[in-house]
Structures are given as C-alpha cells and as structure tokens.
Structure 1
Amino acid sequence: MGDVLAALAPEIIGLAVTPAAIVACLLLLGSARPYRNVVVFGGTVLVVYAVLGAVALVVGRASSAHETDAPGTVRGWIGLVVGVLFLAGGVAAVVRRPATRRAGDASTGEELPAWARGLASPRVPVLVGSAVVLALVNPNVAIYVSGLGSVVTADVTLGVQVVAVLVLVVAAVLDYVVPTVVYAVTGLPGRRQLHAVRAWLVRNDRMIGAAVLLVFGMVFTVRGLVRLLG
C-alpha cells in the first residue's frame, strides 16, 4: 500500500492544489448560504471523481490491466502525455493575452473570471452543473486519469486499488474542505484573510495557473521519461 501511495504522490499533491477550485470554494463561502453551497458543489465533484474511479477499476480489472507485461511502460506513456499537455498549456497561458473581464463582485468591485460569475449567488442546479464542468474541464482530470492509470496497472489487490482511488478522490476535494474548515473555525479575522486570498488568486489567476501547469508538466514529463527509459 505504501509503495502505491508513494508512486501517487505527484497526483495527490496536484489534485489538492487547484487554484480554480480554491477560488470557487471561496466564492461560495461568500455567498448567502455558504455551507450548503460548498457541500453541494464539493459533493458533486466528489461524486464525479468517484464514478470515474469506479469505472476505471471495473475496466482495469476486467481487462487485467494489472497483469500487463509492461506496467511501467503504460504508466510512463500516461505520465509523458499528461506532462507534455501540461507544458503546452502552461506555455500557452504565459504567452496569451489576458482576457477582458466585464463583471465582478458587486459588493467589492472585484473583477471575476467568466467561469466564476455564476457562483456569487447560485441556485442548486447551477451549483451542480458548474461543479460537473469544473471537475471535467480542468487540468485536474488529467492528473486524476494519470493516477488512475497507475492504480489499475499496479500489481496489488483490489482492496489496495480501492483505497488508492479513495485517496485520490479525497485529495480532489481538499480544496473545498480546508477553506471551509478555516472559514468555520477562525471567525471574522480568518474570513477576511480568506477574502484577501481569493482576491489575490483572482487577480493572478492566469499566471498562477500557468505556473501550476509548468511545474506539474515538468514533474509528469520527467517521471514519464524515467519510467519509459528505466
């Protein structure tokens, strides 16, 4: 079990550090019904990744992916593809012109990216739909798929694979759990600090996203090459 989790360390860290998810959570914590909204949104993300994980386990066990003659090669190619895509996305984020923002937080005048505007005062259907989109149209899904590839090709028992997938799923929702706990226990000073963090993330979302893509792109590319050449 320890070896499997150690191999998944880059995926676990990548899933737990998602600027877009943190911004979404902080926006929801500033809405009229913060706890309900975060639970619905984060719960939807959890369900999406849990379903993807279950499907991967079923398909992997049915195809005996864990019995492949070259599991390292499979993992290597997955990591290399994810890494190259991340590097390309990071470079594109650096060179492209910043998007024009036309709407913002009515109470503070804070400019918000287009995807975040619907979370200021959301209804449950909007929360669910936005959560599904963010879960699937996000660099996290590539990181998650990389982790699933490592899990289903690992020569371990089904129980170990299930635990590993659960760890990945939990990592994917930490971006919602941690800010909510801080919001609940720190009172007004802590909430002001969270608001300041949100404002900083929104102002710098393009460069933060580029940095995350480039860093993890290098990590996954190097790991993929090591596995292919090792």
Structure 2
Amino acid sequence: MIKMNGFMGEFLGTMILIVLGAGSGAGLNLNKTYAKGQNWLFVSLAWGLAVTMGVYVAGMLGSDGHLNPAVTIGFAAFGFFPWSQVLPYLLGQFLGAFIGAALVIIQFTPHFKATTNEAEGNSVGIFATRPAIKAPFFNFLSELITTFVFVFILLNLGNFTEGLKPFIVGMLIAVIGMGLGTTTGFAINPARDWGPRLAYTILPVPNKGGAEWSYSWVPMVGPLAGGLIAAGLEVLVN
C-alpha cells in the first residue's frame, strides 16, 4: 500500500529545499538584489540550511526526509528502504523541486527583468548545476564521489529527521560544498537539478539563457551511482 504521507513529505520538503536553495542562487546572481556577488561560503551555507529546513518539514509530515532520488534509490537497492515507497518518494521529490523553482521565478521576476543576459548572471546556474571546467568524465566522477560521501555519512546517522540531526545533515551539505562542491556545483541530487532545470526551460523566465540539457546527464547519473556505491559499501562493512 502506497503511503501518501511519504509523497507529501517529500514533495513539500523538497519544495522548501529548492525555494531556499535556488532563492539564494537568484539573490547571488541577479541584478539589484542585496546578495548580489556573495561568495562560495554563502552558497554552501545557504544550501546546507535549505536542506536542514526541508528535512524538518518532510520528517514532520511523515516521510523519511530523503529529498533526493540518489538517497531513495540507493537505500532501496540495498534493503534500507522499501521498494514499494520508491515511486511516491521520487514523484514528490521531482514535483517539489519543480514547484520550488517556479516560486523562485515568481519571487525574483523583477530581478530577472533587470538582468538582461547570462553575462550579468541570468542563467540556468541559478537553478541547476554547471561545471567549473567542462570535462564530462571528471564531472561525472566529481558528482559520484561527492554523493558517495554524502550518502555514506547519512547511512551512519540513523534516523536523520530526529532532533538536531537535520541540522547535522545541513552542515554536512555545507562542508561538502566547501570541500568537494567547487568543481561541479555539488548537485548530489538528481531532483534538485532536473526539476529546477525543467522549470527554467519551460516557464516564462525573463531574459533567460539556455538550459544546458547536454550536461544534465552528469547530475543525474553521477549522484545515482554514488548513492548506490555508498549503500553497497554500508552493507559490505556491516
């Protein structure tokens, strides 16, 4: 039996994650915002705290707070999560990410209008990841390694929706961003990348550039591979 609270928790938790995370990206990049030009520490902390708040929301609404297909599929593949719940979790994650990005587009519409081209900061990078150096194989490895570290630590945190653990997860995201995320923008999460990338593609964003779908396989395949390897190692060492 499919539990709708799993879907709803993942949907609303992921929506909050993207509203706050992509919102920080919009504030960092778009013209005439108070955060224009902030640094990588700002990015890493903002995304870390965005994950914290998303996990709290998801946990209170009855899901396990995955907010990420790489977590859900990796956990399910090695017996840490029931396969019967995978589909509602994935639907919630991708839909929540899309709606979260749509809300950011609405919030920042005047600033998109004030930012007339990619050179000024109006790009898909507000919503989705881009490599610092385009080298597809190494970009893939970057996402695989980064997600492996993330998921392996999650597996050793126990129930990460309880108490202060969502904050620990957020700080984990922040330190991953500072330590490993500077190569590809640390997607770690296919829904976090593809949902907002799709929103940027099909919604009427003023002055938008290209959505760079040719790169999008990296933040999809790399995190999924990293999550599977982490869960497999967890089984092996235990």
Q: TM-score, normalised by structure 2?
A: 0.30
Q: TM-score, normalised by structure 1?
A: 0.31
Is the helix fraction higher in 1 or 2?
1
* Largest Rg, 1 or 2: 1
